[in-house]
């Protein structure tokens, strides 16, 4: 049996990756290490928590001693690193939290992997999950490729860019076998409702306003989370060491158009007259350092590994909406307490 460490597996993307690996690879023992911050939720993994090849460990990647102990005890052969502070708005109010988890936490994991694999690197792999936001902002034309220079603008993207550089530096300096992917915006079930799509689904259900930043013209590429998890599976097993792959949905939307589409779908689902939810749209003051447009060229992963998105945006959005409507209790649980305080601070 091979021991695989997945960090951040109780979060949005992590929970989909953990589920996929636990279900598809009975020959692996999966260790999900997560600090269970506001964004981590074991409810996300209820269906697999009793699987014989699954283990949950509550722990903080900033705690180097703990990380080293875990590597000694379990002799991980693969690491899939998703643990992170992930919300841009939070990074503007508390950049140091992002430095701690995203940079120091990543370096702690790199040190532990380097030390534990130094005698024998064969079959070992450190997979770092990153974002397209490291590339900065695009004008109305062009796409991010794997060779686009880094130009991060928010504390979040600066911390992710830094962690990417550390991963590559450990590859160069210590010969650490790594792969790295930069992905565009994900959406789907289990997404914490501070991010645009789940936030707006929740607000529409509750008849609350839909706060759109600036003029709503910001453009993002969207990918269904299960397509991302499938790409992660493929890169972990088939990607070349020391290579980077961009992952995207070939699915660009201006925020305002996306919000209007969501409003139409929600009116249909909730049996409200068309146009009801659109009335909730309100434009709010822009966030500082807001990037105009992100768009991914996912040609490399397509040509070299045969990956492409499989879920259309309309289908994916519908599956997402259905999940939130069927999981109101999950939504109520995560929107109580700390989140309420954060919401009041950001949008009141």
Identified catalytic residue from 60, 133, 164, 252:
133
| Known catalytic membership, residue 132 | yes
Minimum CB separation from ligand NAD for residue 140, in Å?
22
Identified catalytic residue from 34, 60, 77, 132:
132
Q: Which is nearer to ligand NAD, 53 or 186 (CB)?
A: 186
Separation CA 132–CA 84 (nearest Å):
15
Minimum CB separation from ligand NAD for residue 185, in Å?
4
- Nearest CA to 39 out of 4, 13, 6, 18 is that of 13
User: Strands (DSSP E) along the chain, which ranges?
Assistant: 2-7, 28-34, 54-58, 78-81, 125-131, 178-183, 185-187, 210-213, 219-224, 243-247, 252-254, 281-284
Do 160 and 101 touch, CB atoms closer than 8 A? Answer: no
Identified catalytic residue from 28, 135, 156, 245:
156
| Known catalytic membership, residue 146 | no
For the chain, how many helices (H) and strands (E)? 13, 12
Do 195 and 87 touch, CB atoms closer than 8 A? Answer: yes
Q: Which is nearer to ligand NAD, 40 or 239 (CB)?
A: 40
Minimum CB separation from ligand NAD for residue 267, in Å?
26
Q: Which is nearer to ligand NAD, 185 or 277 (CB)?
A: 185
Output the CA torsion sign for 178, 184, 187, 188.
negative
Q: At what angle do helices 106-117 and 64-74 cross, to 10 degrees?
A: 30
Q: Which is nearer to ligand NAD, 165 or 268 (CB)?
A: 165
DSSP per residue over 100-125, as a string? IIIIIIHHHHHHHHHHHHSS--TT-E
Q: Which is nearer to ligand NAD, 37 or 203 (CB)?
A: 37
Minimum CB separation from ligand NAD for residue 58, in Å?
9
Do 253 and 222 touch, CB atoms closer than 8 A? Answer: yes
Minimum CB separation from ligand NAD for residue 103, in Å?
11
Residue nearest to ligand NAD (CB): 11
| Diameter over CA atoms, the chain | 66
DSSP per residue over 268-287, as a string? HHHTPPTTTGGGGEEEEPPP
**Which residues bind to ligand NAD, rule: CB under 6 A?**
7-8, 10-14, 34-37, 39-40, 60-62, 82-86, 101, 105, 129-131, 160, 183, 185-186, 192
Q: Which is nearer to ligand NAD, 35 or 280 (CB)?
A: 35
| Known catalytic membership, residue 156 | yes
Minimum CB separation from ligand NAD for residue 155, in Å?
13
Pairing mode, if any, of strands 210-213 and 185-187? unpaired
Measured in Å, how far apart are the chain's first and last C-alpha atoms?
A: 51
Q: Catalytic residues, which ones?
A: 132-133, 156
């Amino acid at each position: 049996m091979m021991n695989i460490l997945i960090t951040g597996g109780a979060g949005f993307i992590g929970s989909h990756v953990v589920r996929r690996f636990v279900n598809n690879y009975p020959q692996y023992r999966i260790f999900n290490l997560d600090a269970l911050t506001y964004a981590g939720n074991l409810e996300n993994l209820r269906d697999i928590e009793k699987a014989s090849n699954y283990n949950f460990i509550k722990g903080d990647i900033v705690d180097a001693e703990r990380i080293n102990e875990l590597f000694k005890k379990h002799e991980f052969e693969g690491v899939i690193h998703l643990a992170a502070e992930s919300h841009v708005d939070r990074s503007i109010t508390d950049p140091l939290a992002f430095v701690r988890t995203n940079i120091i936490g990543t370096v702690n994991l790199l040190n532990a992997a380097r030390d534990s694999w130094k005698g024998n690197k064969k079959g070992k792999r450190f997979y770092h999950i990153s974002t397209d936001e490291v590339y900065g902002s695009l004008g109305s034309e062009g796409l991010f490729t794997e060779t686009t220079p880094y130009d991060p603008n928010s504390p979040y993207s600066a911390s992710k860019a830094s962690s990417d550089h550390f991963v590559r530096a450990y590859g160069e300096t210590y010969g650490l076998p790594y792969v790295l992917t930069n992905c565009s915006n994900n959406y789907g079930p289990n997404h914490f409702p501070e991010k645009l799509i789940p936030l707006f689904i929740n607000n529409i259900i509750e008849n609350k306003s839909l706060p759109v930043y600036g003029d709503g013209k910001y453009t993002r590429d969207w990918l269904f989370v299960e397509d991302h998890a499938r790409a992660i599976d493929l890169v972990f097993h088939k990607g070349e060491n020391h290579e980077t792959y961009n992952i995207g949905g070939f699915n660009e939307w201006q925020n305002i158009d996306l919000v209007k589409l969501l409003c139409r779908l929600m009116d249909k689902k909730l049996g409200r007259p068309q146009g009801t939810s659109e009335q909730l749209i309100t434009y709010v003051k822009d966030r500082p350092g807001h990037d105009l447009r992100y768009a991914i060229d996912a040609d490399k992963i397509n040509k070299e590994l045969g990956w492409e998105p499989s879920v259309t945006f309309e289908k994916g959005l519908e599956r997402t909406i259905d999940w939130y409507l069927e999981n109101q209790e999950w939504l109520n649980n995560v929107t109580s307490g700390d989140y309420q305080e954060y919401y009041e601070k950001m949008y009141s």
